[in-house]
Amino acid sequence: MPDITIEGPDGNFGAYLAVPAKTPAPGIVVAQEIFGVNAVMRGVCDWLAGAGYVACCPDLFWRIEPGIQITDKTKEEWARAFELFGLFDVDRGIGDMKTSLAALRLREGCNGKAGSVGYCLGGKLAYLMATRSDADCNVAYYGVGLDSLLGEAKNISKPTMLHMASKDQFVPPEAQAKIKAGLKDHPKVTLHVYEGQDHAFARIAGEHYDQAAADLANQRSLTFFKEYLS
């Protein structure tokens, strides 16, 4: 059952759901990139389900336009993606992520333990899930804007992993230095830097996809989830 509806306090919204062969299992809420719940995000859910997790990717753009599913292949789609990014309300998005987390924990097939993972915009949201939610653990891939959110790091009480690309065009060197300095001594945060990699190095078929770096990051994520969601 790949498409479900989540009931929220100010409206219902859709989500993609992938269920592992064996349940009950832990859950993972997947925070989308700026392209919506597209084939890439659904693929992430399917990958996580194959690894033994109930994975749910909520439509976080539903207030702007429900059902966005665009790609990174054309200038027009990039323009629309950045437009959506500009219109997106992060605080409401975190509210939807928390609603999705609660719904996933209660869903048949989920054993009640649940974390989050996010990419790009979703990486920012995964970081904020660590600071603002009771998710059991959180993983952020090349999150944007984290340098302006370090004041919330004191609220992180559950294990959190960050994957950072050293050549990320959307996270300049000064921002990366600030993030590293702000989180280096945090007992709950593990930060991995992928030298020479650009933003979205783990987006399959993306312009900057690097299989070796993606495989390493993904294996680290799966090991992390196994440790903290088992």
CATH ID of 3-229, from 3.40.50.1820, 3.40.50.2300, 2.40.420.20, 3.40.50.720: 3.40.50.1820
CA distance 184 to 199: 21
**Which of these is catalytic: 59, 96, 168, 210?**
168
| Domain extent listing, the chain | 3-229
In the prediction, which pLDDT does 1 show? 52
Q: How high is the pLDDT of residue 30?
A: 98
pTM: 0.97
199 given a catalytic annotation: yes
Q: Which of 59, 163, 198, 199 is catalytic?
A: 199
**pLDDT tens, residue order, the chain (230 aa):** 569 999 999 999 999 999 999 999 999 999 999 999 999 999 999 999 999 999 999 999 999 999 999 999 999 999 999 999 999 999 999 999 999 999 999 999 999 999 999 999 999 999 999 999 999 999 999 999 999 999 999 999 999 999 999 999 999 999 999 999 999 999 999 999 999 999 999 999 999 999 999 999 999 999 999 999 99
CA dihedral (74, 79, 81, 82) positive or negative: positive
Cα atoms found within 13 Å of the Cα of residue 18, Cβ hemisphere only = 20
- Give CA separation, 230 vs 25, 48, 113, 126, 217, in Å: 9, 14, 8, 19, 19
Residue 2: per-residue pLDDT: 67
Q: Is 186 a catalytic residue?
A: no
pLDDT of residue 202: 98
